[in-house]
A and B are shown apart, each in its own frame.
Chain A
Amino acid sequence: MLLQSIVSGLLVGTIYALIAVGLTLIWGIMELVNFAHGSYLMLAMYFCYAMNVLVGFDPLLSMPIAAMLLYILGVITYKAIIARIMNASMLLQIFTTVGLQFLINYIMFFIAKPTFRTVKISFLDGVIRIGDLFLDKQMLVASVICVLTFVFLNLFLRYSKVGKGIRATTDNPRAALALGVDIEKMYAYTWGISLALVAVAGAVLCRNLYTYPTVGDKFGLFAFVAVALGGFGSVYGALFGGLMIGVVETIVGVYAIPWMKLPAVFAVFILILVVKPQGLLGWK
């Protein structure tokens, strides 16, 4: 029973991790917290829903398109808004992304109305049994996709030119600048990639969850928690944090009072912020 919970938690955790990675990339490179992160997730979910209704695509099919669109949106967001406040006070920076979350949520509120939408999916129903464990096929597929995306991201960061540029700018902006890295471009790339990652998570999520204007908020918050647990700025830390949240949430849900899942996670969050802001692993 415990093993079941842990495994289920890990599966769900990979999704949280993927969302968190985007957040931590932005923080790492420009010390900015994207309070609107969850809202972009919601946008991705709505896009996949729309594609499902209009063209009949399964969200997994829409995923690449969603990722591309959100990538472009990320770059636009950076260039049009974030770039302007890079040197502003922290208060203003917080306000900017908070304002963005506000704006995006209410735009969708207006366009889509606060009704709950479900996506009709045709395949991958049911449960797989591995030994004593019962794994939901949807979850499994979702998790695998997230892990693959994560691996791909890591390869990208390590071996591609842009990836190296991003890492260089994150570690040491001055040195990167001296070596000829176009910092502005790196910032834009990071925003684009961050949101593209979120799009993948969104595509995967909307198959299992209701889509409504504020659906992203919870995930946005969980992303904060994951990043805090793993250490702000650390990609592996985000993975660790996401997995941990998934496990904690599931275990609390199974063994304690179910509704305490979220409060438990958030309480842990506040604790980490106060006690060990470098994250449990002490990275960055």
Chain B
Amino acid sequence: MEVIEKAGSMGRKGGVQTKWVLSVALLVLLACLPWFIKGAYYRHILIFTLMYVVLAQAWNLIGGYAGQIALGNAVFFSIGAYTSTLFLVKANMTPWLGMLIGGVFSAVVSLALGYVVLRLQGHYFAMATIAFNEIVRICFANWRFVGGAQGISLPLHIGSFYYMEWSNKTPYYYIMLFMAVFITVFIYVLDRSRFGFYAKAVKQDEIAAKNRGISSFKLKQLAFALNAFFTAMVGTFYAQYILYISPDSVLLTSNSILIAVIAIVGGFGTVSGPILGAIFVFPLTEFLRAYLGGQAMGLNYILFGAAAIFVVLVEPNGFVALIRRIRRSFIGVKEQERSMEVGGVEG
């Protein structure tokens, strides 16, 4: 069947096969990684990187595809974390189930919030999400039921599958790897489905899309709910991994912004962009920080902020597009495609 939904179908047919081979090879490599990398520190970096991949991919649904810059995802993250944790602490429920409940609850909250704010234009929407983030953060910090500012320490059940806690980092790694692969594949499918198709149309001209009968609002609602769902699941994972959650660790607005920046720096509205962004922000900058010694607190984030400005000035479509540019200048191919402000072309 013809794939008409793929925008910019200017054949690079040979490229598709190499992509598949590379992806599978990468997957195998990643699956075997725990054998090679034994150090707890390095494993921790891997796990966090994968977390950011999932968070950035989820963000991309609302930011890249639906075109609304959401800067309050920490709320959904924490809904996931707190929901599963509270169920665990109060009802001894397995976090596996809590994760699902948290995800669904988070999606419901996003639908409620979205109903109110999704019609807002870009700037206003961004501001509204920041405001909402802050409201939730301060309320949670003063709410005894969720532990207030102290937060909640998760009960120790090391080595239990039911309680999703292990002493070894390996199971955690595989859970995150699975989630990262799942969401990447999910978005790949979405990109080529009608969702991706309509999203690209809405981004180019929302009025014209509505004129064809496409409800841009419903599309945004869907994107927002999916974003909330996946983000919440990572929240549960985080709680089970770190074993402590508090408003100052999971509800910071700066974390919400970080996720958005990762996704955009990596590549707006593309499938591999968030992966690149996450790899850059965490491992690369983390190694640099470690290299320069613990004194360089926050240095990695500065680098990242600088990368953000760099992206703005040099290549607005993110690292993905930058790499493509460099590749093309080596191969010497003529610039067939017009430079696209808001991308969506997965070559």
Do A and B have CB atoms closer than 8 angstroms in the complex?
Answer: yes
Q: Which residues of B contact A24 (CB under 8 A)?
A: none
A263 / chain B contacts, CB cutoff of 8 Å: 134-135, 138-139
Selected from B69, B134, B258, B297, the residue in CB contact (under 8 A) with A109 is B297
- How many contacting A-B pairs (Cβ < 8 A)? 132
A102→B124 contact, CB < 8 A: no
B141: nearest residue on chain A (CB-CB)?
Answer: A259
List residues 85-114 of chain A with CB under 8 A from any CB of chain B: 85, 88-92, 94-96, 98-107, 109-110, 113
* Secondary structure call for the A interface: helix
Given contacts A106-B301, A221-B131, A273-B127, contact A91 B69 (CB under 8 A): yes
Residues of A within 8 A of B71 (CB): 98
In the complex formed, the residue of B with least CB distance to A263 is B135
Judge whether B264 is part of the interface by a CB distance below 8 angstroms.
Answer: yes
A85-B312, A103-B308, A266-B135 are known contacts. Are A273 and B257 too (CB-CB below 8 A)? no
- State A104–B257 Cα separation when bound (angstroms): 14
Chain B binding site: helix, strand, loop or mixed by DSSP? Answer: helix
Contact flags (1/0) for B98-135 with A, using CB distance below 8 Å?
00000000000000000011011111101110111011
A95 to chain B, nearest CB (A): 5
Q: How far is the CA of A266 from the CA of B128 in the complex (A)?
A: 8
- How far, in angstroms, from A96 to B138 measured CA to CA in the complex? 27
Q: Compute how far the CA of A56 lies from the CA of B139 in the bound complex, rounded to whole angstroms.
A: 40
Task: Kindly list chain B residues whose C-beta atoms are within 8 Å of the C-beta of A257.
Answer: 142
Contact partners of B31 in chain A: CB under 8 A: none
Q: Which B residues, 272 to 328, have Cβ-Cβ distances below 8 Å to chain A?
A: 296-299, 301-302, 304-306, 308-309, 311-313, 316
Chain A proximity of B204: nearest CB distance (Å): 11
- Asked if B268 is at the interface of the complex by the 8 Å CB criterion, the answer is yes
Nearest-CB residue, chain A, relative to B130: A221
User: Is the Cβ of A81 less than 8 Å from the Cβ of B135?
Assistant: no
Q: How large is the interface on B (under 10, 10 to 19, 20 to 34, 35 or more residues)?
A: 35 or more
Contacts of B316 in A (CB 8 A): 88-89, 92
Complex-state Cα separation, A263 to B135, whole angstroms: 5
CA–CA, A270 and B120, complex, Å: 10
Q: Does B81 sit at the interface, judged by CB under 8 A?
A: no
- In the assembled complex, which residues on chain B have CB atoms less than 8 Å from the CB atom of A88? 316, 341
Contact of B67 with A by CB under 8 A: yes
- CB closest chain-B residue, reference A273: B124
Set A90, A96, A113: member contacting B123, Cβ < 8 A: A90
Docked-complex contact B142 and A259, CB < 8 angstroms: yes
Give the most central of B63, B67, B308: most A CB within 10 Å.
B308
Nearest residue, chain A, Cβ from B253? A217
**A267 at interface, CB cutoff 8 A:** yes
A200 within 8 A of B: no
Check A262–B302 contact: CB distance below 8 A. no
| A219 located at the interface, meaning its Cβ lies under 8 Å from any Cβ of chain B in the complex | no
- Which residues of A (50-98) have their CB < 8 Å from a CB of B? 81, 84-85, 88-92, 94-96, 98
CB distance from A241 to the nearest CB of B (A): 14
Does A16 reach chain B (CB closer than 8 Å)?
no
Report which of A99, A107, A113 forms a contact with B312, defined as CB distance below 8 A: A99
The closest CB in chain B to the CB of A271 belongs to B116
Q: B121-163 vs A: 1/0 string, CB under 8 Å? A: 1111011101110110011011000000000000000000000
A91 near B122 with CB under 8 A, answer: yes
A110 B69 Cβ-Cβ under 8 A: no
Question: Which residues from chain A contact B142 at a C-beta distance below 8 Å?
Answer: 257, 259
Known A84-B313, A90-B123, A95-B264: A103·B138 in contact at CB below 8 Å: no
A sample of 28 inter-chain contacts (CB < 8 A) reads: A33-B127, A81-B313, A84-B313, A88-B316, A91-B63, A91-B268, A92-B316, A94-B122, A99-B312, A102-B301, A102-B308, A103-B302, A103-B306, A103-B309, A109-B298, A113-B297, A221-B134, A228-B127, A259-B141, A263-B139, A266-B131, A266-B134, A266-B135, A269-B128, A270-B116, A273-B120, A274-B116, A277-B120
Supply 9 further A-B pairs (C-beta < 8 A) apart from A89-B342, A102-B254, A266-B135.
A33-B126, A89-B316, A99-B308, A102-B308, A106-B301, A106-B302, A228-B127, A263-B135, A269-B128
List the 6 closest pairs (A to B, CB-CB), nearest first. Answer: A103-B305, A99-B308, A106-B301, A266-B131, A109-B298, A90-B122
